[in-house]
Structure 1
Amino acid sequence: MLKDFGQVGVWLAGLGLSAADVSEDLLDRFTSDLQAAGRRRLPGPRGMRPMLAYLRGASLTPTPEEEPSELDALIRQYDVWMERERGLAAATRLRCRNTARRFLAERAMPGGVLTPGALTGQDLNAFLLRECARVSAGSAKQRVAELRSLMRFLHLRGAIPLRLDAAVPPVGGWRLAGIPPLMSAADVQRILDHCPREGGVFVRDFAILMLLARLGLRSIEVSRLRLDDIDWRSGEITIRGKGRREDRLPLPVDVGEALVAYLSEARHQAGTRCLFATGRAPRGPIRADLVGDVVERACLRAGLPKVGPHRLRHALAGEMLRQGSGLMAIGQVLRHQDLATTALYAKVDFTALRAVARPWPGTEAA
């Protein structure tokens, strides 16, 4: 991609053009000129698409003005309402927009014409039955919440006469009913011990693993970290968690040393203030799913079954519980808003539970 950028830049300079003039038609002309010059291996339209998307994302190339459809306009208004009235995060709004678009395109556009006023509870149930057949119980609950949000918006906007959000049926399933899967402290340490400490990528991966194992960060929280979030003088780190919440946590010495080793070797990535940047240009913050890849690679090196980053968060809570920490302390470290969420880990303290468990009828207490 960098090679293509360079070739396009030289070609534009020869024509007296700039990045602001780049468009699909101009890139087609570029490939035609290369073909006329005798070039055999040419990038196709699909190969040029990432370059054009990056230029438009960086506001270097204008996005062509298109007349939005009625559905697009409604989805845009829905997004503004979610942001201004409900204060939802960007990732949550994206899921709600995707669900709203699928539902409205399937149930509210007979003949290609958007008519949400004709929606009924039967339309909601039919859509949910199809969705729930292909997703887990947790995802099905999200679909219900997203569909109810859309119905509230449509009613407030006057697009539907009745509040159909009450017609969306709940999904069976009980919160905090399961037992969180845990890893032993020995397995977590084995993952850390088998991570190489030399090389830019390995040093970065080790710093990420230390944040997951010692502070119990979520994947999205790791990807959101910036250089300004670390206060070296006070030994604290600022975490941007769910619901735009910010928390300051003490920075353990071993985590700080891993971050220093990473920053000392990898701060050649100029032009970005994010803590963990992509290894290739264009520089930018890593995605949350890359954190999962880091953990999976670490498990393979350690000879352990693959787990996700959240398993290390559970492992931290379980180890704190075994060391005698109370649920309040665990909730503060994991930054739970509700203590009932932290109470889930009481189920894994089998030593304490065994002391209060009553013997099975007809047997003696162990």
Structure 2
Amino acid sequence: MLKRLFPKVHARYAASANGALLGDFAVWLVSAGYARDAAHGHVRRLKQALERMSSAPLARDAGISAGFVSQAFASLQAAPFQGTRRAFERFLAAHGQLLKEFDPNRFAPLLDRYRRYLLEVRGLAVSTADQHIATIKRFLAQALSADAPLQDLSALAVERFLAAEGRRMRRQSLQHVVARLRAFLRFCFEQVAVPERLDTIDAPRVYRGELPPRALTWPLVQRLLRSIDRRSRLGWRDYAILHLMAHYGLRPSEIVTLTLGSIDWQAKTLRVKQCKTRSDL
């Protein structure tokens, strides 16, 4: 069916991470009575939405949550994309692969107690406690099915959640997620909300100096400026750009707006249009 809808580029669709899913979706669209052009557009938009989420194939056997579908199309609010979202949800429901939406209110009493524990016992700031709760809500939504009790939490569910989080964030950020998860799972065990300890989680290792420096040292900046060949107009242009960045802290977006009219030759001043703050400097 992909070959029929995309005669010239069907191989690219079939070879994509979710090629089998796109093929089944195309078959379902045609069998459901969608016109060829409409089916073509739905398959193309679904491929685009899924690739924005992840380069890995979806695990269809375990089902796909309505929340994941909504998240995939969250930044694609145009009417055609939302039509594709609804068609995809109907396709999943027809195949018994659309999971019920997780109800975060199921664990509201537990989360309220945990939030009070974070504020009153651990002494966390309100904003920090809110970050903890947001992480835990995300964890519960991914680790448990719609009707599963908290006692169904397992080490495998924790591992899968952290693996998914690790694909979308750096190790430095993942350390915070692990710390929040440890604290919550320890609290649940102490409250006899889970039958076994699940808070023994290895955090990703971060090494001092592993990241690039946030700024060049000043001697290195001066060496960079001296290395520019100023015997040509292009050399002087490059030198002026880097000089303004190094000495005056101008942003690239501010430098590209400069013209000869930005210079007040008599007052010996430079007028800079700041795009970020929408003001002049």
TM-score strictly above 0.5:
no
What TM-score bracket applies, with the shorter chain setting the length?
0.3 to 0.5
Structure-1-length-normalised TM-score: 0.31
Tell me: higher relative CO, structure 1 or 2? Use CA pairs within 8 A at least 6 residues apart. Answer: 1
